[in-house]
Amino acid sequence: MSIYRIAHLSDPHLPPPAGAFGWKDVFTKRLLSRIAWRKKRKVHRPEVLAALIADLKAAAPDHVVISGDLTNFASHTEIAAATAWLKSLGSERDFTVSPGNHDALAGAGGPERFAPWTPWLGDAGETVFPQVRLRGPAAIFNLCSAVPTAPHLATGRLGNDQLQRLDAALADPAYADRFRIVVLHHPPHKGAVSKRKALDDQEALRAVLAKHGADLILHGHAHEALVGSVPGPNGSAIPVLGVPSASAKPSGHSPARWHSIEIEDHQARIVVRGIEPGREGLAELGRYSLADLT
């Protein structure tokens, strides 16, 4: 059986285009985010993201997963600019996007806010989550934990309806022989981020995963390289992997990194590529088997 490669990157935080912040936004949470961006723009650099994307394209993965925070203020102008960026990467069928909290920073709630990204959310042609994409030997369960929150909070929530649909999807025997990957922005395990950034209904998600299992969970949000696990059925453990921001320069933060997930015979190896401080460009930082984590 040939190797199927899925690339994972997250939190690109694309530079806000002109007009991304308007006078009406001073009365919303976007004002706080705009103030914070003055500092963050020194960390999230477009040239770093361009180098990472070039490195990723050179590796020619079969599919790419982006786990959220393409934008900063979630304005219509930013959503449009992020849509143009996604189109520049290649065919939408080769990319899956799971929205992040910055993509839902302010404005009306509900997944319909991501309508411009519909082709990258799944194959159903709609904004309902979860969506399941079948790619090679994998079944990718794309969740959305992005919801508007109060100032100074960056929490996420899946909601009962989405969790019930995930419960049914993971129980579907049509996916039983697939390598099942669950994708969301917020980490699903305890202690990965502070309470003000955590997934509010993570216990309910873990209950679904403990019931039906999965082979791998991918997330972003923490801006760090994280390795963890959540309980699976019958005492098993489901590995959880997070990556740093794809645009972060090495300046006291975890520098930009992406993972290549190489699936073969229902097993997976992880190849880690990213910026190594003191070295120009991106390089391989290591590789390991998922079996080593559980």
Q: How confident is the model at residue 26 (pLDDT cuts 50, 70, 90)?
A: very low
pLDDT of 31 = 54
Q: How confident is the model at residue 20 (pLDDT cuts 50, 70, 90)?
A: low
CATH number of the domain to which 129 belongs:
3.60.21.10
Range of the domain at 34: 4-293
Instruction: Go through 187-226 and write b for each residue having 16 or more CB atoms within 10 A of its CB, e for each that does not.
Output: bbbeebbeeebbbbbbebbbebbbebbbbbbbbbbbbbbb
How does pLDDT run across 42-84, given as a tens digit for each residue? Answer: 788 999 999 999 999 999 999 999 999 999 887 888 899 999 9
Number of folded domains that form the chain: 1
Query: Cβ contacts of residue 30 below 8 Å, gap of 6+?
Result: 21, 73, 74, 75, 105, 106
Distance of CA 267 to the CA centre of its chain: 21
**Structure letter (DSSP) for residue 23:** G
pTM confidence score: 0.94
How does pLDDT run across 253-279, given as a tens digit for each residue? Answer: 799 999 999 999 999 999 999 998 777
pLDDT of 27 = 45
Distance of CA 241 to the CA centre of its chain: 10
How does pLDDT run across 183-197, given as a tens digit for each residue? Answer: 999 999 999 999 999
Q: How confident is the model at residue 22 (pLDDT cuts 50, 70, 90)?
A: low
In angstroms, rounded to a whole number, what is the distance separating the alpha carbons of residues 240 and 293? 9
How does pLDDT run across 142-172, given as a tens digit for each residue? Answer: 999 999 888 778 999 999 999 999 999 999 9
Q: For residue 2, with 0-12 CB atoms within 10 Å meaning exposed, 13-18 middle and 19 or more buried, which class applies?
A: exposed
pLDDT of 111 = 73
Residue 23 backbone zone (phi > 0: left; psi -120 to 50: alpha; other: beta): alpha
18 phi/psi in degrees, rounded to 5: -60, 135
How does pLDDT run across 221-261, given as a tens digit for each residue? Answer: 999 999 999 999 999 999 999 999 999 998 767 999 999 99
Q: Position 130: which residue type?
A: P
On whether the CB atoms of residues 230 and 238 are closer than 8 A, the answer is yes
Average pLDDT taken over every residue of the chain: 90
